Chain A
């Protein structure tokens, strides 16, 4: 009992070490990095970050990523809401099979779909647009959103619906004025997971874009492939990709555990 806190502490330290190392690198010049091993930057510099905020190739990548992630979040949640409601409230022809089929798409290895996606989106003229990535990410985010939201909605007693109808609410009025506010924490949690999976995915995002909608994660492969080259810049860009996630997670910190318990991620 005395050492209970030890395990989480050691684990968190383990989690922080690679992040520290990335941070450490980002404040060094590439010359210093390649010059030899050092635990902290001896020649502290912000040049790498300056470079990122100066060069549209870099900061444009961030903007692109944020645009398609937000689009995806919006599409996924909006489409998943009515579907999750249907799954949680009604029995209909083929409902169980449909639900399972949706889930199977969460199981499809993106590697399988890279090439066909490339061809599909070129065919419909969406190649290298934000919407293409946002739509492609729906493949795994919509099933996930439906799954989580269905969990939250099943937790709301059906009597709520019935009371509202008795009180003379029409369905749309009930849905928007009563039902959605009731499950708002569920919607928050869902949006969080959509954000998370869209933000971290790169195989599809990279292959569906070229210049105009190139995500930050893809911009980074330019330096990653030229191993050792511009390591400082790469580290700084990497650090900046952690920031949005950290901000989002800070806002939903109190819901995370609850969301995991209520929803079914």
Chain B
């Protein structure tokens, strides 16, 4: 990397970005902090509530359950999407006309508005008239995602795999095509094949993009709201009520601003903490 010069006037270049982001980030964040320490009974009457809401949430079964579901969801999709994405990237052609076709088709789900994704999977999974629901039921398996928690989770995970695996594929593929041919040739000559090539050449070269892929998938799946909400509405019961869904329900639906604010902050902090760990790992890898 090129050496950088010291220049504090570079701040001038950064001001527009800082201003725009600060406007969008700081003001709302302060609002949330403000809510989180107050109690309201409507009519714009607020009372100091201290850390009460935080204590409330840290003890609340409901919040624990929602957080647990959110984490479970993230864990499942990471375990499925990352290996699957890498496997597909490995199997993709490296050159020729099919590359563009593959890339365009694979990127398509990424560009569909999130609530359309939810709606799409909703009508696909409907047990009576949806292709997926109908097929599963026709195979003799009782499936109804609006009534069975397991079916709801299955559909939600499948939807996310459908929606986001391509991101991992594209990133892994970008990492793969940047490996010079000489590495593969050297490996051939050294008598390495299959697993050894993957382990010693492809995986180390994909290291950086894969960290980015995992980081992005972590953040986005941990914050996911729209698609599962449109698909299941959090049901049946509360079985698919992720933290984000619970939060919006609480803040917008029940107008429970204090509790919602406190929960938002805790939520944000968890995301930040995990992302920060990833970020440090990533920059440490780069500097090596």
Contact = CB atoms under 8 A, between A and B. Distances in A.
Interface string B144-178: 00000000000000000010011001110111011
B10 A90 contact: yes
B108 A86 contact: no
Interface in A231-253: 231, 234-235, 238, 241-242, 244-246, 248-250, 253
Interface residues of B, number: 99
A138 B21 contact: yes
Is the contact region of chain A dominated by helix, strand, or loop, or is it mixed? helix
Contact of B6 (A92, A108, A221, A256): A92
B279 to A, nearest CB: 7
Interface in B124-156: 124, 128-132, 134
Contacts of A89: 2, 4-5, 10
A36 interface: yes
Contact of A7 (B18, B91, B130): B91
Q: Number of contact residues on A: which range applies?
A: 35 or more
A18 interface: yes
B24 interface: yes
Interface in B77-131: 87-88, 91-93, 98-100, 102-116, 118-124, 128-131
Contacts of A39: 131
A86 B7 CA distance: 9
Given A19-B108, A116-B28, A234 B119 contact: yes
Given A5-B91, A8-B91, A105-B25, 16 more contacts: A8-B88, A36-B129, A79-B16, A83-B13, A107-B219, A120-B28, A135-B24, A202-B114, A202-B115, A221-B115, A224-B115, A235-B123, A238-B116, A238-B119, A242-B108, A246-B111
Interface of B: 1-11, 13-14, 16-18, 20-21, 23-25, 27-29, 31-32, 87-88, 91-93, 98-100, 102-116, 118-124, 128-132, 134, 162, 165-166, 169-171, 173-175, 177-178, 209, 212, 216, 219, 222-223, 225-226, 230, 244-245, 247-248, 251-252, 257, 260, 264-265, 267-268, 271-272, 275-276, 279
